[in-house]
Amino acid sequence: MQKCYKENIMKKCKILTLITVLFLMLNVCKQTSPSIELDDFSFYTPSQEKTPFPLVAQRTVKNVILMIGDGMGFTQIVATRTLVLGAQGRLTIERLPVTGVIDNYAADYFVSGSAATATSLATGYKTIENMVSVLPDGTPAMTILEAAREKNLSTGLVATSTITHATPAAFAAHVTDRYSEVEIAGQLLESRINVLLGGGRALFKSGISGYKYKRTDGRDLVEEARKADYAYVETKDELMQLRAENGHVLGLFSDGYLINQGSEPTLAEMTDAALEILSQNDKGFFLMVEGSQIDWAGEDNDINYLIREQLHFDLAIRSAIRFAMDDEETLVVVTADHETGGMFISVEPPNQLDGKIDIQWGTDEHNGNVVPVFAYGPQAERFMGWYDNTEIPKKIANILGIPDFPQKMTSKLD
Ligand SMILES: [Zn+2]
């Protein structure tokens, strides 16, 4: 009887101990599980200043730098800042003094792709999925870059994707299918853009197979570009050795897209080089710079890839702001085409400012979230508020004194 009682007590003790251990284990897990192993981001030097850059006196704008973070929503920015600099840090993008919001639905889908949304940012018109600066009926629409060129401004496109990818293509090519990158390469060259920097040798030279599409018609657009007075560069060193007197530059640093390694220049280095070349024109310039792969990191739900791309984009923004501060006649507008990944930030425990941060993803595709606009420079205030993405190029045209924009072009494409 006595023995049985003791055994019962011991059994109960063991069960209680087990429950206690399990409870403690669960609690420990709760406090430590949401954590992220971060890569080394020491290439990014945080700015000591956290206050907004000053508003600039109203005056005529000579140059416009439009910067597009592909797939960059508000959370991509806040997550990068919080994980790399802490909640109280500030990325360069967050210091631009004017902020706005744009809707980004297309003519056919509420959640759209880069071709249709970039078309809106470039032409001021809505179009349908996969179309590049043509209206749904196939009519080409003039882009803000083409309108600036008409006004004798110099023009430039910089991207970390192939330079023929949907976003850069939308500023100077007109095709009904974004994936016809070989055709886009020819159109980019014909459009006499002063500076083209990015990836995509496989689209310009025949017989290169480092990308999903390749040129097979025997043409060598690099050679054709050289004959048309373009300086051609393939490495960061060659880009750095370029002198500003080169009026036309084609820089293809990879067969496909850039991977931030080896002899490739960074997005900020390409931006600096483009600014040096374009600023030789006394009449001014229009430059579009794309952080192309923020979108792909969102599709991969890869937080380290996303932070790296967001920080490289931030350094390119820093280059643009540095130039604009010095020049005083340059307007910088930073925005996105759509958001990718549906990311959100959770913190554990939720009521702690210094809790452990975790990133959750809602999708591996694009979504219908609104995206931010930031502006610095003379007339930056015109980008305040909440408006449609088609307003961006219309505002830029108006600021540059370009009449009749948006504008349909006369010929229809097949
Ligand atoms: Zn996109």
Tens of pLDDT, residue by residue over 272-324, are: 999 999 999 999 999 999 999 999 999 999 999 999 999 999 999 999 999 99
Tokens linked to 83: 């994980």
User: Which residues are designated catalytic?
Assistant: 114
Tell me how far the alpha carbon of residue 228 lies from the centroid of ligand 1, in angstroms.
31
**Whether 184 contacts 131, CB under 8 Å:** no
User: Is this structure's pTM higher than 0.85?
Assistant: yes
pLDDT (0 to 100) of residue 39: 94
Tell me how far the alpha carbon of residue 89 lies from the centroid of ligand 1, in angstroms.
27
pLDDT (0 to 100) of residue 3: 47
Residue type, 100: G
Angle at 133 between CA 128 and CA 134, to 5 degrees: 65
The list of the chain residues with pLDDT below 70 reads: 1-35, 244, 412-414
pLDDT (0 to 100) of residue 26: 43
Tokens linked to 82: 């919080």
Tell me how far the alpha carbon of residue 241 lies from the centroid of ligand 1, in angstroms.
32
The phi, psi pair for 162, rounded to 5°, reads -60, 150
Scanning the structure block, which residue is given the tokens 């990944």? Answer: 341
Residue 138 CA to its chain's centroid (Å): 27
Tell me how far the alpha carbon of residue 375 lies from the centroid of ligand 1, in angstroms.
20
Scanning the structure block, which residue is given the tokens 């923020």? Answer: 294
Tell me how far the alpha carbon of residue 12 lies from the centroid of ligand 1, in angstroms.
61
Q: How many angstroms separate the CA atoms of 69 and 309, rounded?
A: 9
DSSP 82-138: HHHH-TT---SGGG-SEEEEEE---SS-SS--HHHHHHHHHHS----TT-BSB-TTS
Superfamily per CATH, domain 56-399: Alkaline Phosphatase, subunit A (3.40.720.10)
Q: How many angstroms separate the CA atoms of 82 and 84, rounded?
A: 6
Parallel, antiparallel, or unpaired: how do β-strands 330-336 and 371-376 relate? antiparallel
pLDDT (0 to 100) of residue 352: 75
pLDDT (0 to 100) of residue 16: 55
